[in-house]
Amino acid sequence: MAVEGRVFDIQRFSIHDGPGIRTTVFLKGCPLRCLWCHNPEGMSAAEVVSFLPERCIGCGDCVRACPHDAHRLEAPEGNGHRVVHVYHRARCETCGQCTQICDTRALEWVGRHMTVEQVMSEVRRDRAFYETSGGGLTLSGGEPLAQIEFTVALLCAAREEGFHRVVETSGFVSWQRFERLLPLVDLFLFDFKETDPLRHAEFTGQSNEIILKNLRALVGQGARVQMQCPIVPGFNDREDHLEGIRALASSLPNLAGVQLLPYHPLGKSKLQRFGLTLAAELPSEPLPPAVLDRWVNDLRERGVPVINAARPAASHR
């Protein structure tokens, strides 16, 4: 039988998920619950329905199609005669019938079962760009290692095609899963979200103990590993965390590099689409560029191989 997995997005011409021009395949399911997650639709392994009320034209097709009475056109008190689309997610059985008839894409089905060949047919379309830029396939999520059989099958297929292979991971999986990937991955983008174990548990739902063990083991096994460090104002933009990044990177002499990822409120804006609630008061503005520059310069001055691209001086204004 063909190996299948659950994919929630495939992005072509990606330039931020590894070297060169890449195709990034996002797999569903993640063991962490990061408060600032920018892909909340990838947390659950199951399919979800996206609802963007501003796209709704009030045609009522979804009301008639839904067998569970999850969609209604209602006139809220004090709203005059204006009818609004109310989506009662508690009644939804995620059958997807409403998404099939929504022409305006106010309702969309997020997540689909795909075979390895179906994914690779998308990846092959940009072979010429990989060859000229040094790009290839990146598996992201969610957590790719949560779907280990599908991930291994995709990486084997990409290796047969001669594509460069990158895996972005939270690191919160068993070491046995990493061992299966060692001969298949050219570069691991390894998330390091918080130095303090208690704060890590508060911010992500899990301690960072297993994550740190896997990071050290990967580097120790000779894997090419790049640390990815999200910096979120009011959460981990602290001097002791900066020192933690420096100390950890310095203890891993074969590390490919460190990239600081400035917070952006994209995930916050996605929460309503998927019926999720805000678990913490997240910033509404991105991390100020001046703060990122200070952290990058501080780490570089202390010998950490930071790979953030230098910005023109004009961008500091």
Architecture in CATH of 53-109: 2-Layer Sandwich (3.30)
> How many Cβ atoms sit within 10 Å of the Cβ of residue 210?
15
Contact status, residue 314 vs residue 291, Cβ threshold 8 Å: no
Tokens for 41, please give them: 């639709």
Residues 6+ apart with CB under 8 A from 271: 40, 277, 278
**pLDDT more than 90, % of the chain:** 82
Cβ contact 180:196 at 8 Å = no
pLDDT band at 125 (very low <50, low <70, confident <90, very high): very high
Alpha carbon distance 132, 75 (integer Å): 56
Query: In the chain, where are the structural domains located?
Result: 4-45+111-316, 53-109
Of 3.20.20.70, 2.40.128.20, 1.20.210.10, 3.40.630.10, the CATH number of 4-45+111-316 is 3.20.20.70
Q: Any idea what DSSP says for residue 306?
A: B
pTM over 0.85: yes
pLDDT tens digit sequence for 82-101: 788 999 999 999 999 999 99
Label residue 105 by pLDDT band (50, 70, 90). very high
Say whether pLDDT at 314 is over 50.
no
Could you read off the pLDDT of 222-261 as tens digits, one per residue? 999 999 999 999 999 999 999 999 999 999 999 999 999 9
**Any idea which of 29-33, 201-205, 271-275 has the lowest mean pLDDT?**
271-275
